[in-house]
Amino acid sequence: MPDPASRPAASPVQVPYPPAAVGWYATIVLALLYWLSILDRFIISLLVDPIKRDMGITDVQFGLLHGFAFAITYALFGLLAGAMADRFSRRWVIFASVSIWSLATAACGMAQSFWHMLIARVGVGAGEAGLNPSAMSMLSDLFPRDRLTSAMAVYTIGATVGSGTAYLFGGVIVELVAQVDFYTVPVLGELRSWQAVFFIIGIPGILLSFIIFTLPEPVRRDRRQSGPQVPFWGSLRGTYRELLQFIRSRPRFFMCHYGGFTLASAVIGGGGAWYPAHMARTFGWDPARIGLSLGLTLVAAGITGKLICGHFVDVMYRKGRRDAQLRWYATCLLLATPVGIVATTSASPWIFLAGVGVLLMLLSPLPACYAASLNLVTPNELRGTGIAFFAATAGLIGLGAGPILIASISEHLLGGPSQIGLGMAVTIAVFCPLAAAVLALGCGAMREAVLEAEKT
């Protein structure tokens, strides 16, 4: 559906921002949908052992299901969704995305083999690809620049609560449905207990997708061009050509931004896939106990870290630090390195949980920092494509390769699946300091790029 907010208007730059209540309501609704997407994405991590048992797959194959199959689809479909977010109503893009990933999550519950599950996970990735480009574009039009990181932080709290809920309530759901080996469902017949979990999580999302229409479509700001636009399909290639030209005009910023956040995302994505399995294998905890303890840890640490980050980064920005996002996150990566190594190599579950809590408090603001820094530099008509292009690189490499990398290190270099914790420690020790160094190299380039964007 065409986006009325993208049509030419008289002096669009002078249109005031909407009332704060409107902006924050939109942020909460978008965070709710983000919560749902992460819940649907990560619930599979609590079902590692029953899925492996029934389908006869290895840890590396599970890494493909959890990470790479999802990430490559998320990246590729995200490129299309990003361009759509820049050309059409962002509300309709989000509505379609939520509906698709919810149906695909339910379809995971019908899988009978590795390949069936792989196809369903592809559907989850394709649906979720449309949310972030549209949501982050909307937020950039709802909040002034010196409030943007706080808005992004609150929005991405949805991801924190989603992953925590996947562990917290997901563990309880897994425990409850596991009381019965099979469930009989009309039309579908008998379902294993783990298959029922996907139905319980996926079906409600179809109804929740309609909540997006309670939001206004915000006026698009900071546009470099106006006037009639050519048809979407005819301009898709041109849109990304223009984005690449823009990236080439600021090579140091984009190389350091993409490189640093990609390395960091491998640590976060890889750890998120293997925390439950590590606790089960190392500490002998059952799914309900893992879900409760890990879920509470992730939610508390993520919310705290993102709110702290959003507040102080915006304060730094108002004081003239135009590289605030990169500077803040590079520091967090350095602080997280020793904490993560101690946590993932500890024989105590309580040290592990405390360490992971501090680790995620420091690292969980990654989406807020990468998105705010990108949108502060990028013109409005390229923001959806810019976020999508980042996901196609950092998402594909970090989220996709992280779980496989950790599994491969533990299986082939460290002695087998029981060493998954040590595999996480090696990844943290190498990638966190390297990511910090790369981001630090980009601070000067970000200052120049933001100052130039503010002049337009």
Domain boundaries, the chain: 16-215+238-455
Instruction: Give the per-residue pLDDT at 306.
Output: 94
- DSSP-assigned states of every residue in 206-232: HHHGGGGGGS--PPP-S-S--S----H
Among 268, 208, 295, 220, smallest CA distance to 401 is for 268
Indicate the class that CATH gives domain 16-215+238-455.
Answer: mainly alpha
| Residue with the two structure tokens 């933001």 | 450
Rounded CA-CA distance 398/405 in Å is 10
- DSSP-assigned states of every residue in 145-207: GGGHHHHHHHHHHHHHHHHHHHHHHHHHHHHHHTTSSEEEETTTEEEEHHHHHHHHHHHHHHH
137 within 8 A of 39, measured Cβ to Cβ: no
Instruction: Give the per-residue pLDDT at 455.
Output: 77
Model confidence, pTM = 0.80
3-class DSSP state for residue 122? Answer: helix
Characterise 11 by phi-psi region: left (phi > 0), alpha (psi -120 to 50), beta (else). left
Instruction: Give the per-residue pLDDT at 405.
Output: 84
Instruction: Give the per-residue pLDDT at 292.
Output: 82
Could you list the pLDDT tens digit for every one of the 456 residues in the chain? 656 555 444 334 467 888 989 999 999 999 999 999 988 887 787 777 778 777 877 777 777 777 677 777 888 888 899 989 888 889 999 999 999 999 999 888 887 788 888 888 889 988 999 999 999 999 999 999 889 999 999 999 988 887 777 766 666 666 666 666 666 655 566 667 777 788 888 888 888 999 999 998 988 886 765 444 544 555 566 778 889 999 999 999 999 999 999 999 989 888 887 888 888 888 888 877 887 888 888 889 999 999 999 999 999 999 989 999 999 999 999 999 999 999 999 999 999 999 999 999 999 999 999 999 999 999 888 899 999 998 887 767 777 778 888 888 887 787 776 778 888 999 999 999 999 999 999 999 999 999 988 876
What are the E-state strand segments in 305-396?
A: none
